[in-house]
């Protein structure tokens, strides 16, 4: 089996299914840690509706879909924040696909996409409980930095020069 990473419209059925899987996982993880419950399905649908991903559309963004053996396995979004800074977002691999080399490939493709948009650096944020993500970013050369946003769920901010 081989990996491929290609751009995908942010509003495609494949993108919607991966966004739902991503949000369900990170939301459930947060609620289980902080409130001892899973995400309420109605809350999940409201949150998905408020963040459709239009900022991941050309010409200032891109949504990438990783496929393993042709099947959708993960996603990563890139959006240009200014002339030289892009943000990495929605990085996700289905749990059954993890450990097969897809995450570094997906993030590398996102970095290439950011460069193609004119970015010289990539920034991202993540939560403290997403230890696997923090480890991945550190292995790929991202360094923790000062906060660059006021997202209430962000607890760690990273940066990488792309030059």
Long-range contact set of residues 110-117: C-beta below 8 Å, sequence gap at least 24: 110/64, 110/76, 110/77, 110/78, 111/160, 111/162, 113/7, 113/62, 113/64, 113/78, 114/78, 114/80, 114/86, 114/88, 114/162, 115/162, 117/59, 117/60, 117/61, 117/62, 117/78, 117/80, 117/86
Read off the pLDDT of residues 45-90 as tens digits, 9 standing for 90 and up: 888 888 888 999 999 999 999 999 999 999 999 999 999 999 999 9
The stretch 89-113 carries a mean pLDDT of 96
Looking at residue 124, its pLDDT comes to: 98
Looking at residue 50, its pLDDT comes to: 85
Higher pLDDT, 1 or 62: 62
Looking at residue 159, its pLDDT comes to: 98
Q: Is the pLDDT of residue 1 over 80?
A: no
- Determine the Cα–Cα distance for residues 65 and 49; give it in Å rounded to an integer: 20
Read off the pLDDT of residues 27-48 as tens digits, 9 standing for 90 and up: 888 888 888 988 888 888 888 8
Q: Are 99 and 113 in contact (CB under 8 A)?
A: no
What's the number of CA atoms in the CB half-sphere (13 Å) around residue 143?
6
Q: Give strand pairing partners of 14.
A: none
The stretch 141-159 carries a mean pLDDT of 94
The stretch 93-114 carries a mean pLDDT of 96
The model carries a pTM of: 0.92
Q: Are 127 and 154 in contact (CB under 8 A)?
A: yes
Q: Are 118 and 84 in contact (CB under 8 A)?
A: yes
Q: Token pair 């990170």 is at which residue? A: 26
């Amino acid at each position: 089996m081989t990996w491929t990473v290609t751009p995908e419209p942010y509003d495609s059925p494949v993108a919607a299914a991966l966004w739902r899987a991503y949000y369900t996982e990170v939301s459930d993880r947060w609620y289980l840690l902080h409130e001892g419950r899973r995400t309420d399905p109605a809350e999940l649908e409201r949150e998905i509706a408020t963040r459709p991903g239009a900022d991941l559309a050309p010409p200032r963004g891109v949504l990438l879909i990783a496929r393993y053996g042709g099947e959708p396995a993960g996603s990563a979004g890139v959006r240009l924040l200014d002339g030289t800074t892009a943000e990495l977002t929605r990085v996700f691999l289905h749990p059954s696909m993890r450990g097969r080399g897809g995450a570094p490939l997906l993030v590398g493709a996102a970095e290439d996409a950011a460069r193609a948009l004119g970015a010289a650096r990539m920034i991202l944020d993540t939560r403290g409980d997403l230890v696997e993500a923090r480890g991945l970013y550190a292995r790929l050369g991202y360094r923790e930095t000062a906060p660059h946003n006021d997202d209430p769920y962000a607890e760690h901010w990273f940066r990488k020069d792309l030059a």
